[in-house]
Structure 1
């Protein structure tokens, strides 16, 4: 006796999207039970929920600018090596350099081993920008290094004109204070420069031998009408640069640096250049007034000074009483103010009338 088979499901027009299709319990031709079909959930690359590829441009910029902090590795999902790179400051620079080279060579991948998106389109621009960036950084580093070395050298080289000048008054005055007597004695212990006066008309180059000693030079050209200048091959370089008549004094060889052996004079009339030892510089124990460029010895009991200037050009007051030269004032035009000015030699540059008073 035969039994009826299972009753087949009723016919239906309903079709499951993306699933294998059956007819009378059999797969349709060309279909496999385990085969993925278009539209089936999670069946094709770029499926819903998949993490997108990391960007080559972003990785490159992080590697170039923030590689020492490991930001590029954090971005790629490699947190462990990112922390290690951060703690070692990019392997003291070497790790950062290697990662940058690998990025530009297209060898970097994310945590899943996938290549970076956009490498082919942007690699040439990235290489060019990287080279330019590294060259500019190198040039800036060289200039910063030179400037830093110059500042350190200047700070480490105290001025060699800290001794008080030996004037006739200080040498002959029996009632001078003990401190002044000690300063005068200190000035007498060092070698002295013999005074010398050079003369000429028009442009000239004069060779001198200052024996590496600090000196004060007084340049005068009363009848000049054109460009008037006085330059040295020492550390001070440009002492005078004006138009027309000029008369003023300047310090040269104030520190143990490049000694002055040559003066370059630009003038259109007769001029004189007097070179003297710093002992010839007058001492000032109270308020002092002057006009134009001048050198004085500030011999007071305070390091505070009230300074005024009436002029149109640059007004500079520089002191040499401390271990490091002081730029007390550096202004343009009229000036009035209170500044720190350590007792010692003082260089004033002005085109007008000025005063310095102790406070």
Structure 2
């Protein structure tokens, strides 16, 4: 005679004494294999498993923040994420490779599981990526064109290399000399000299015909703030206090031409505008005081320069393709520098000398 066996569990129980919902989750939030280990074990697809990582989030992180390793941090790959961060995306190469792998559907999380949502979003992700790459390429090309334009604007045009043929109103110790370059300069257009006068602040309109010029500004009786500005590339030529006399080059490069001078003074002033042929030519040591323009017509590109003054001392040469800043110091100066033969602009508030070496 057989004994009655145990009563089988109801159909909604997966483990004896453990009521469970149809999806396999226990009332206390644990699966049967965790709460009641035994012959039934765990069930695949239980709620305790980590959800898949999103393809959309991984793609956005890789596209926008891949250089910082954010995409790999998101996927749980902490080690490679740190390496990617420290190398700024493997100098860009690693970031690009990860982006391609993600768009190709080959990216996985740390448990080697595929990303969720790839099929639904892959076309949109690929389209947006291509558009952004094209936009970045166009921006890069435009930036390169703008940079090249700035370099060309800074370069001195050949017209400025024509040597002067006279020495008028010069304080140089050297005698003027005519050169072959001077004869060549006679074939180019020349600017007719003009003198503007006034008393106090004024704005003067001029037509330099797109030619480089030398302007000499004088305000002997000024006692307050004295300045001379242009709307061209040079902008601020004079900014001092009290009396002033000095000369400056304007429109030395193919940039924005000067059409206006803005004078600030508290007394009578004169502004003389001349062609660059009026610049004195110097073949040996030259000395001067204050701001001055000269033509450095020597057989060497080395010069010993001195200055005795308190303000900023600047020597800028225009003999090469790009203007060279030979000296830019404050106060007294003494040294030997490279100075290509050609036009030279000196800015000083004291006495200076330039000697060929």
- When the two structures are superposed, what TM-score results if normalisation uses the length of structure 2? 0.66
* Partner in structure 1 of residue 113 of structure 2: 112
Q: Does 1:64 align with 2:60?
A: no
* Partner in structure 2 of residue 299 of structure 1: 297
d(CA) in 1 for partners of 2:155, 2:348: 29
d(CA) in 1 for partners of 2:356, 2:199: 41
The equivalences for 1:209-248 within 5 A come to 209-248=207-246
The equivalences for 1:87-236 within 5 A come to 89=96, 110=109, 112-113=113-114, 148-154=147-153, 158=157, 160-167=159-166, 181-236=179-234
Q: CA deviation at 1:40?
A: 3.1
Q: CA deviation at 1:187?
A: 1.8
Range 319-328 or range 308-317, more displaced: 308-317
d(CA) in 2 for partners of 1:28, 1:224: 114
* Partner in structure 1 of residue 340 of structure 2: 342
Q: Tell me, which stretches of 5 or more residues in structure 1 are unaligned?
A: 6-23, 100-107, 117-136, 170-175
Q: CA deviation at 1:335?
A: 2.1
d(CA) in 1 for partners of 2:146, 2:241: 32
Alpha-carbon distance change, 86 to 215 in structure 1, aligned in 2, over 3 angstroms: closer
Assess if the C-alpha contact under 8 Å between 1:328 and 1:339 holds in 2: yes
Q: CA deviation at 1:331?
A: 2.0
Q: Does 1:255 align with 2:256?
A: no
Assess if the C-alpha contact under 8 Å between 1:159 and 1:254 holds in 2: no
The equivalences for 1:10-89 within 5 A come to 26=6, 32=14, 36-38=33-35, 40=37, 43=42, 63-66=63-66, 72=71, 76=75, 86=93, 89=96
d(CA) in 2 for partners of 1:147, 1:141: 10
d(CA) in 2 for partners of 1:300, 1:342: 9
Partner SS for 1:189? coil
Partner SS for 1:160? helix
Q: Per-residue displacement from partner, 1:122-174 (whole Å, max 9, x unpaired)?
A: xxxxxxxxxxxxxxx9xx989976862443322566353101111279xxxxx
Alpha-carbon distance change, 167 to 113 in structure 1, aligned in 2, over 3 angstroms: same
Q: Does 1:318 align with 2:281?
A: no
- When the two structures are superposed, what TM-score results if normalisation uses the length of structure 1? 0.66
Alpha-carbon distance change, 204 to 336 in structure 1, aligned in 2, over 3 angstroms: same
d(CA) in 2 for partners of 1:61, 1:232: 50
How many residue pairs are counted as aligned between the two chains? 292
d(CA) in 1 for partners of 2:350, 2:142: 37
d(CA) in 1 for partners of 2:332, 2:47: 74
Larger CA Rg, structure 1 vs 2? 1
d(CA) in 2 for partners of 1:300, 1:210: 29
Range 52-61 or range 292-301, more displaced: 52-61
Q: Tell me, which stretches of 5 or more residues in structure 2 are unaligned?
A: 17-31, 81-88, 118-135, 169-174
Root mean square deviation of aligned Cα:
4.6
Q: CA deviation at 1:112?
A: 2.4
d(CA) in 2 for partners of 1:323, 1:292: 26
